Amino acid sequence: MSEFWLYFNIGLKHVLDIHAYDHVLFLMALTVPYSFKEWSRVLVLVTLFTLGHTTALLLSVYKIILINVNVVEFLIPITILCTAAYNLFTSGKSSKNTNNINFAGFVTLFFGIIHGLGFSNYFKTILPGSPSGKILPLLEFALGIEAAQLIVVLVILILSYVVQTFFRFSKRDWSLTMSAFIIGVVLPMIIESKIW
């Protein structure tokens, strides 16, 4: 049982680590266009992100996919930039369209794969040696990731509610402001990337 908590906590800390805030930035960009009324959509997107993240770790652990670390470290802030920029261009437009949800779901899954590849080298070093012993820790880690992501999303939705209710920000203005802030934070990460 203590092994479960070990990998679960690694998943929690992976998302909630203040020094590796790229994961939180992505979750912010993913969540700011939504409100509490749309919690089910946010839950689907977050779970798809976790599924992509876990799939990438699985493929990497079994050496099916190997990718240059510098490329992944460059692509992670690109995913954040794309998500925030998408918010800027679609803010205030109806998100009821099923095609928009399907597109967002597919992109979120793909971005989860990229983020998972970014953590794969570290994750491989802490796993047990035998191939059969890797699946359970991976699932325990995924549960920790999902729990941490739900915490972040809940905090963002609460903050969104407070800003929109008490400070009278419109949903559109909130989304535009936060997306612009996220872009401002992520651009230096892209510029300072080792890929250049």
Q: Which residues of 124-140 are buried (b: 16+ CB within 10 A; e: fewer)?
A: eeebeeeeeebeebbbb
pLDDT at 164 over 90: yes
Let me know if residue 196 belongs to a domain: no
* Least confident among 10-19, 57-66, 96-105: 96-105
Asked if residue 61 lies in contact with residue 124, where contact means CB atoms within 8 angstroms, the answer is: yes
Q: What is the pLDDT of residue 63?
A: 87
Structural domain of 58: 2-191
Dihedral of CA 71/137/143/62: which sign?
positive
Work out the percent of the chain whose per-residue pLDDT is above 90.
72
Let me know if residue 49 belongs to a domain: yes
pLDDT (average), residues 119-127: 83
Supply 196's token pair.
């250049």
Let me know if residue 104 belongs to a domain: yes
Cα–Cα distance, 13 to 2 (Å, whole number): 16
> Amino acid identity of 47?
T
pLDDT (average), residues 167-187: 96
pLDDT (average), residues 168-176: 95
Q: What share of the chain is helix, strand, coil (3-state, %, to 5)?
A: 80, 0, 20
Let me know if residue 59 belongs to a domain: yes
pLDDT tens digits for range 19-65: 889 999 999 999 999 999 999 999 999 999 999 999 999 999 888 99
Let me know if residue 6 belongs to a domain: yes
Phi-psi region of 92 (alpha: psi -120 to 50; beta: other; left: phi over 0): left
Tally of domains in the chain:
1
pLDDT tens digits for range 66-87: 889 899 999 999 999 999 999 9
Cα–Cα distance, 174 to 172 (Å, whole number): 5
Tally of CB atoms within 10 A around 1: 5
Asked if residue 56 lies in contact with residue 120, where contact means CB atoms within 8 angstroms, the answer is: yes
Let me know if residue 50 belongs to a domain: yes
Q: 75: number of CA atoms within 13 Å, CB side?
A: 16
Supply 12's token pair.
């929690």
Cα–Cα distance, 36 to 90 (Å, whole number): 19
Asked if residue 172 lies in contact with residue 91, where contact means CB atoms within 8 angstroms, the answer is: yes
Q: What is the pLDDT of residue 42?
A: 95
